[in-house]
Structure 1
Amino acid sequence: MRIITFGTFDMFHVGHLNILERARSMGDSLVVGVSSDALNFAKKGRYPICNQDDRMRILAALACVDKVFVEESLEQKAEYIQRYGADCLVMGDDWSGKFDHLNTLCQVQYLPRTPAISTTELIEVVRSAPPR
């Protein structure tokens, strides 16, 4: 089974690794769409801390990831699923229900996020830390 997932993967942390390893364990290969810098700005109103090339390089270096590509648009998920021949779309449960319409193309699974860690929270901690 071929698995596909998507995300920004900024400030890579153990929560990212957990979901990628769980997704990979569900199939024979894992393809990861990394949100472009422009897409991230459109979604969140800010650019990622790490640029898309660095984020892609980090993901490509992981043993659980077989292929990485740039995700240019949330609306193209169906096209990406078809392009990469995905049998299953895996997303974090913060997206629960948002991609159910893609069940006609592949199985859709929402996995629980790792508790008590998020990129947004990490960025806030770093911003609020006193200068050294």
Structure 2
Amino acid sequence: MARTVITFGTFDVFHVGHLRMIERAAALGDRLVVGVSGDELNLAKKGREPIFSQAERLAIVAALKPVSEVFVEESLELKRDYVLQHRADVLVMGDDWEGKFDELGDVCEVVYLPRTPAVSTTALIEKISTTG
């Protein structure tokens, strides 16, 4: 039986850390579903609008070879609903979320992957704004 993995992210200013996360998540199953944080959720979560629009970020992530399906994540509180809706066997999150989704262990395996060192969207945006 095919094993479905689900992960989430904003994926703004797409970088190698995002790519590695998606590749590592995909390696845990047969099918990878990715929730891309909507513009409103990103504004609420990070206090700023994304550089790239929701539609652009969805298109970028959907074009990646390991990704089977993308959808808009509207709320952090709906993780359980998304896992159930997409029949995910594994939820993958970055280790900056460690412990925050352990309660979903009753419906799927929960895996926290280490982030790629020295790569962050916020740091990239700050670097671009100070050198640009």
- Coarse TM-score class (shorter-chain normalised): over 0.9
- Indicate which of 92, 102, 105 corresponds to 1:103: 105
- Match in the other structure for 1:37: 39
- Measured in 2, the distance between the counterparts of 1:47 and 1:104 equals 34
Structure 2 equivalent of residue 46 of structure 1? 48
Is there any run of 5+ residues in structure 2 with no aligned partner, and where? none
Give the percent of matched residue pairs that are identical in Structure 1 and Structure 2. 62
Please state how far the C-alpha of 1:7 moved relative to its aligned partner.
0.5
User: How large is the RMSD of aligned CA atoms in angstroms?
Assistant: 0.6
TM-score relative to the length of structure 2: 0.97
Separation in 2, partners of 1:36, 1:61: 18
Alignment of 1:47-126 (within 5 A): 47-126=49-128
Whole-angstrom CA distance in 2 between matches of 1:41 and 1:126 = 20
Deviation at 1:67, TM superposition (A): 0.2
Q: Deviations over 1:33-66 (max 9, x none)?
A: 0000000000111010001100000000000100
Q: For 2:11, give the aligned amino acid.
A: F
**What is the 5 A alignment of 1:7-26?**
7-26=9-28
**1:46-102: CA deviations, max 9, x gaps?**
010001100000000000100000000000000000000000000000100010011
Specify the SS of the correspondent of 2:58: helix
The one-letter amino acid of 1:110's match is Y
Give the C-alpha shift of residue 120 in structure 1.
0.3
> 2:16 is aligned with what amino acid?
V
Give the TM-score taking structure 1 as reference length. 0.97
